[in-house]
């Protein structure tokens, strides 16, 4: 007997064959000046197995996808799970935009875009030059860092930072090299208000666009001093007999227009007034007392400040000449009774 009132029901399971993978972008790590580790996590493979996964990154496209101009793709295997990719040959102090991606037969999906900045290079030792009595010029050694890199200049002896106007202060100031170099044809910053005759030591650190700072680079020192620009004059020419001692050579006017402690050095020559000069030892005085002379000799006085390392830029006085009279002496004798004189050479 049939049960005419009974019904049979069937439940169908519908499988979606068009599901993309699900992937997230993980934070970039191990960042250096030219490398970083990027990665992601494929949390769901979608309806079909993940055949490729990896990262795409760009320094110009803030939403990078595969195939776009300026976008680099780095694959990292297949399947689900976390993955990391170590990327080298990045540019110094440059912002990069990153997305993780995963691909199955349906297509490619991406994680959210993240970004990071590679570190700046440690600056090189700065150039320190242009010494005057109260200032020094400092140039930042960028050491391959790009123009956007900011630098801070520190003076170690005063434990102060160079300020934007060239003074020294307690607050750190960050500027690009172009912003620092406002003096000397835009190649230096003139650090002013310094004390004369002292050594100042400068070192520089850098930071990237995310304000991550480097260590300080090597230091360079300079001394605030400037050689005189006016040498002064000495006097004066003399004629003496061979074997005698000339009168002291005296300063008519001293050297002037200098910064630091003045130092003199005398020289003499038996050649002529323009060549053959050699130093006279222990002659740091504005006056000179020569010893016994037997040949015609020329003298001059050099002046510098003693914080200079050599006499290259010393100023020179006029040259004076001590002439030896070669004429033999005349000796006259009188005959007492005969009233005549006889000369002997």
Q: What CATH number does the domain containing 197 carry?
A: 2.60.40.10
Percent of the chain with pLDDT over 90: 83
Please tell me whether residues 75 and 38 are part of one structural domain.
yes
Is the distance from CB of 214 to CB of 149 less than 8 angstroms? Answer: no
R_g over Cα of the chain: 42
Whole-structure pTM value: 0.72
Taking the CA atoms of residue 159, residue 164, residue 165 and residue 167 in that order, the dihedral angle to the nearest 10 degrees is 0
What pLDDT does residue 330 have? 66
Tokens in use for 86? 């170590």
Q: Is position 337 within any domain?
A: no
What pLDDT does residue 335 have? 55
Instruction: Count the domains in the chain.
Output: 3
Could you report the per-residue pLDDT of 272-301, keeping only the tens digit for each? 999 999 999 999 999 999 999 999 999 999
Please tell me whether residues 46 and 83 are part of one structural domain.
yes
Please tell me whether residues 210 and 245 are part of one structural domain.
no
Higher-pLDDT residue of 7 and 157 is 157
What pLDDT does residue 271 have? 97
Tokens in use for 144? 């391959």
- State the Cα–Cα distance between residues 204 and 217, nearest whole angstrom: 6
Could you report the per-residue pLDDT of 41-86, keeping only the tens digit for each? 999 999 999 999 999 999 999 999 999 999 999 999 999 999 999 9
What pLDDT does residue 226 have? 86
What pLDDT does residue 7 have? 43
Helical spans, DSSP H, in 12-59: none
| Greatest Cα pair distance in the chain | 198
Q: Is position 39 within any domain?
A: yes
Assess whether pLDDT exceeds 70 at residue 108.
yes
Q: Is position 101 within any domain?
A: yes
What pLDDT does residue 133 have? 84
- State the Cα–Cα distance between residues 309 and 47, nearest whole angstrom: 79
- State the Cα–Cα distance between residues 288 and 248, nearest whole angstrom: 6
What pLDDT does residue 109 have? 98
Is the distance from CB of 56 to CB of 69 less than 8 angstroms? Answer: no
Q: Is position 345 within any domain?
A: no
Distances 196 to 109, 134, 223 between C-alpha atoms, Å: 67, 6, 8
Is the peptide bond preceding residue 236 cis, with omega within 30 degrees of 0? Answer: yes
Could you report the per-residue pLDDT of 212-257, keeping only the tens digit for each? 999 999 999 998 988 999 999 999 999 999 999 999 999 999 999 8
What is the chain's mean pLDDT, rounded?
91
Tokens in use for 314? 């010393």
Q: Is position 164 within any domain?
A: yes
**Parent domain of 190:** 124-223
Could you report the per-residue pLDDT of 153-162, keeping only the tens digit for each? 999 999 999 9
Please tell me whether residues 82 and 140 are part of one structural domain.
no
What pLDDT does residue 333 have? 59
* Region label for 166, one of left (φ > 0), alpha (ψ between -120 and 50) or beta (otherwise): left
Q: Is position 4 within any domain?
A: no
- State the Cα–Cα distance between residues 55 and 73, nearest whole angstrom: 6
What pLDDT does residue 258 have? 86
- State the Cα–Cα distance between residues 243 and 73, nearest whole angstrom: 93
Question: Do the bridges between strand 189-191 and strand 136-141 make them parallel or antiparallel, or are there none, so unpaired?
Answer: antiparallel
Q: Is position 97 within any domain?
A: yes
Tokens in use for 232? 């002064």
Query: SS3 of 78, please?
Result: coil
- State the Cα–Cα distance between residues 250 and 231, nearest whole angstrom: 14
Q: Is position 342 within any domain?
A: no
């Amino acid at each position: 007997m049939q049960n005419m009132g009974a019904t049979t029901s069937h439940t169908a399971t519908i499988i979606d064959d068009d599901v993309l993978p699900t992937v997230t972008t993980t934070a970039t790590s191990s960042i250096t000046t030219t490398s970083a580790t990027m990665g992601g996590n494929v949390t769901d493979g979608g309806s079909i197995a993940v055949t490729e996964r990896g990262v795409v990154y760009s320094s110009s496209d803030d939403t990078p996808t595969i195939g776009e101009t300026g976008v680099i793709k780095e694959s990292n295997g297949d399947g689900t799970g976390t993955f990391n990719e170590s990327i080298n040959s990045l540019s110094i102090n440059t912002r990069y935009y990153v997305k993780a991606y995963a691909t199955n037969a349906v297509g490619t999906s991406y994680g959210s875009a993240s970004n990071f900045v590679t570190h700046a290079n440690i600056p090189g030792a700065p150039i320190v030059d242009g010494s005057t009595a109260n200032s020094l010029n400092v140039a930042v050694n960028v050491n391959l860092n790009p123009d956007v890199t900011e630098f801070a200049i520190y003076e170690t002896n005063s434990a102060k930072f160079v300020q934007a106007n060239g003074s020294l202060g307690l607050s750190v100031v960050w500027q690009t090299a172009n912003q620092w170099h406002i003096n000397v044809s835009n190649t230096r910053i003139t650090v002013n208000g310094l004390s004369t005759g002292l050594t100042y030591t400068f070192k520089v650190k850098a930071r990237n666009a995310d304000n991550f700072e480097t260590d300080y680079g090597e230091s360079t020192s300079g001394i605030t001093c400037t050689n005189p620009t006016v040498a002064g004059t000495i006097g004066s020419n003399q004629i003496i007999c061979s074997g005698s001692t000339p009168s002291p050579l005296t300063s008519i006017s001293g050297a002037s227009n200098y910064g630091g402690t003045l130092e003199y050095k005398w020289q003499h020559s038996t050649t002529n007034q323009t060549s053959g000069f050699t130093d006279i030892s222990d002659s740091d005085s504005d006056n000179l007392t020569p010893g016994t002379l037997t040949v015609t000799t020329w003298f001059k006085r050099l002046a510098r400040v003693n914080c200079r390392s050599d006499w290259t830029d010393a100023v020179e006085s006029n040259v004076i000449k001590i002439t030896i009279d070669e004429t033999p002496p005349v000796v006259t004798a009188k005959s007492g009774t005969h009233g005549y004189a006889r000369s002997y050479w």
